[in-house]
Amino acid sequence: MDLEYTAEEQAFRQKVAQWIAANTPPQSERGSVEALRAWQKRLYAAGYLGAGWPAEYGGARLSPMEQAIFNEELARANAPSPINVMAIWWVGPAIMRYGSEAQKQRFLAPILSADEIWATGYSEPGSGSDMAAAKCRAVRDGDFYVVNGQKVWTTFAHISDWFFILVRTSAEGAKWAGLSLLLIDMKSPGVEVKPIRQITGDSEFNEVFLHDVRVPVANLLGAEGQGWEVVSSALVNERTGIAGSVRFDQAFDRIVGMARTHGRSRDPLWRQRLADLAVKARVVKSFGLRAMSDQLHGRVNPHMSAAMKLFTTELGQRFSETGVDLLGAYGTLWEGSPRTPDRGRWAYQFLYDRSLTIAGGTSEVQRNIVAQRVLGLPRK
């Protein structure tokens, strides 16, 4: 793979860097849902969202490399991600692949424009990351499904308009064979959302209760019993990519700066610890380049995302642990105070990073995927 950017790609990088600098919302506005909707609308209007989506559904006319460069520059500028990022990664591609033409016309464009925010409902209280054990039940009643059950750890459910939810439509056969995928209007009678207060003090995750929720059969995505396939194909779209390595490089630079400030840069034990982080950050970059190479050459490696997710989320925890350890007792001080080192961001990051080895499939699940489907190891 040629790792050099062409002159045209370098010019595109400069153009988007200038656009991001001129349009990124200030830090003070990033806690507002409406400000983040407006930010995504600017991204969409400028043609920077939905690369790979057909133009008739609002897709950007960017090459895969241009989209990667844009994502890299977003990360470098510490700009917020699109508020509807899960729908862009998962919901939209699934609807394009499995949806009817009516579903594509109805749902795709509002995803990119952020007119409709989506949540995804996989995990349940009794099964966690074992999606095949889902018990949330959908029973056919004429032209409707009647849905009863509960989902948990549902990101952004409290601000979402629609729900991309895995439900059980049959108890026959293998447990994964009776699963289906429904598209549910979050304003439907019987949908109850309860935010979960997290260790960081935020409430990004939610419990969602469904009591006799009536969903039109027209909102079934794919066929009955195809839910496992739909969700599995959607999750493959989650990639760390090159942008992930930019964030690790930025964190590493901050940590090295703190090590110098606190007199640890010449300590051989700390130097070894920092060197380990530097090597693993480079591995993340190589992961991203490999994923980009696969995309450019039309190769499909559905299990690589499991390895990337496992490696990057656990490395993120190593970074935040190192930041807190470097600061000692000061590392426990909360963010936002100008008197605390690095404005206390490491304490928050340390707590937030605990969630990332659970969200999107636990590290244990990712290890099973890598062991069985990449390394070919036996189950027992």
Q: Report the CATH number at residue 127.
A: 2.40.110.10
CATH assignment of the domain containing 76: 1.10.540.10
* Least confident piece of the model among 91-100, 297-306, 358-367: 297-306
State the distance between the two ends of the chain, measured CA to CA, in whole angstroms.
Answer: 38
Q: Please give the Cα distance from 110 to 58 (Å, whole number).
A: 9
Are residues 285 and 217 both part of a single domain?
no
CA 117/CA 95 separation, integer angstroms: 15
**The one-letter amino acid at 301:** N
- 90 within domain boundaries: no
**Is residue 354 scored above 60 in pLDDT?**
yes
- Domain match, 244 and 332 both: yes
Q: How many CA atoms lie within 13 A of 27 on its CB side?
A: 3
238 is catalytic: yes
Q: Which residue has the higher pLDDT, 65 or 235?
A: 65
Of 111, 81, 74, the residue nearest 96 (C-alpha): 111
- Which of 225, 258, 274 lies at the terminal end of a domain, its last residue? 225
Task: Give the pLDDT score at 353.
Answer: 94
Q: Indicate the residue among 202, 225, 248 that finishes a domain.
A: 225
Q: Is residue 102 part of a domain?
A: no
Taking residue 364's Cβ as centre, other Cβ atoms within 10 Å add up to 12
Residues forming beta bridges with residue 377, ordered by sequence position: none
**Shared domain check, 245 and 179:** no
| Same domain (yes/no): 201, 269 | no
Whether residue 242 lies inside any domain: the answer is: yes
What's residue 240's pLDDT?
A: 47
- Whether 268 has a pLDDT exceeding 80, the answer reads yes
pLDDT band at 341 (very low <50, low <70, confident <90, very high): confident
Is the model's pLDDT at 80 over the cut of 70?
yes
Tell whether 357 and 270 lie within a shared domain: yes
Is 314 or 288 the better-scoring residue by pLDDT? 314
153 neighbors 120 (Cβ within 8 angstroms): no
Q: List the one residue out of 50, 39, 117 whose CA is nearest residue 77.
A: 39
User: Is pLDDT at 299 greater than 80 in this prediction?
Assistant: no
The enclosing domain of 250 has a CATH number of: 1.20.140.10
Is position 105 within any domain? no
Q: Give the pLDDT of residue 302.
A: 67
What tens digit of pLDDT does each residue of 122-176 get? 999 988 778 888 999 999 999 999 999 999 989 999 999 999 999 999 988 888 8
Question: What is the mean pLDDT of the segment spanning 328-349?
Answer: 81
| Cα–Cα distance list, 24 to 10, 35, 211 (Å) | 21, 10, 40
For residues 273 and 334, membership in a common domain is answered with yes
pLDDT (average), residues 88-98: 93
pLDDT number for residue 130 = 80
Are 278 and 344 in a shared domain? yes
Please tell me which residue in 9, 238, 314, 321 is annotated as part of the active site.
Answer: 238
pLDDT in tens, 185-216: 999 999 999 999 988 888 989 999 999 999 99
Q: Are 273 and 322 in contact (CB under 8 A)?
A: yes
SS (H, E, C) 115-158: CCCEEEECCECCCECCHHHCCCEEEEECCEEEEEEEECCCCCHH
For residue 252, how far is the Cα from the chain centroid?
22
Per-residue H/E/C for the chain: CCCCCCHHHHHHHHHHHHHHHHHCCCHHHCCCHHHHHHHHHHHHHCCCCCCCCCHHHCCCCCCHHHHHHHHHHHHHCCCCCCCCHHHHHHHHHHHHHHCCHHHHHHHHHHHHHCCCCEEEECCECCCECCHHHCCCEEEEECCEEEEEEEECCCCCHHHCCEEEEEEECCCCCCHHHHEEEEEEECCCCCEEEEECCCCCCCCCCEEEEEEEEEEEHHHEECCCCCHHHHHHHHHCCCCCHHHHHHHHHHHHHHHHHHHHHCCCCCCHHHHHHHHHHHHHHHHHHHHHHHHHHHHHCCCCCCCHHHHHHHHHHHHHHHHHHHHHHHHHHHHHCCCCCCCCHHHHHHHHHHHHHHHHHCCCCCHHHHHHHHHHHHCCCCCC
Residues whose CB is less than 8 angstroms from the CB of residue 261 and which lie 6 or more positions away in sequence, other chains included: 341
Mean pLDDT of 346-363: 88
The string of pLDDT tens digits covering residues 285-297 is: 888 888 878 777 7
Q: CA–CA separation, 363 vs 311, rounded Å?
A: 9
Q: Bigger pLDDT: 195 or 340?
A: 195
Q: Are residues 245 and 362 in the same domain?
A: yes
Is the pLDDT at 251 greater than 70? The verdict is yes
| Co-location of 244 and 209 in the same domain | no
Which of 27-36, 41-50, 187-196, 232-241 shows the lowest per-residue confidence on average (mean pLDDT)? Answer: 232-241
Rounded Cα distance, 269 and 267, in Å? 6
For residues 308 and 347, state if they share a domain.
yes
272 and 362 share one domain? yes
**In this predicted structure, which of 56-60, 74-78, 101-105, 341-345 has the lowest mean pLDDT?**
341-345
Asked if residue 275 is part of any domain, the answer here is: yes
Number of structural domains in the chain: 3
**pLDDT-derived band at 103, boundaries 50, 70, 90:** very high
- The mean pLDDT of the chain is 90
Token output for 156: 């952004």
Which domain range does residue 291 map to? Answer: 238-374
| Residue 124, beta-bridge partner list | 128
pLDDT at residue 336, as a whole number: 65
Q: Which of 17, 23, 49 is nearest to 35 (CA)?
A: 23
For residue 230, being part of any structural domain is answered with no
C-alpha distance from residue 273 to each of 252, 310, 345 (Å): 11, 20, 20
Length of the chain: 380
Residue 144 lies in a domain: yes
| 361 and 248 part of one domain | yes
Tell me the two tokens of residue 70: 């844009």
Check residue 311 and give its pLDDT: 93
Vertex 347 angle, CA 345 and 349, to 5°: 65
**pLDDT, greater one: 235 or 211:** 211
Q: Which residue has the higher pLDDT, 243 or 106?
A: 106
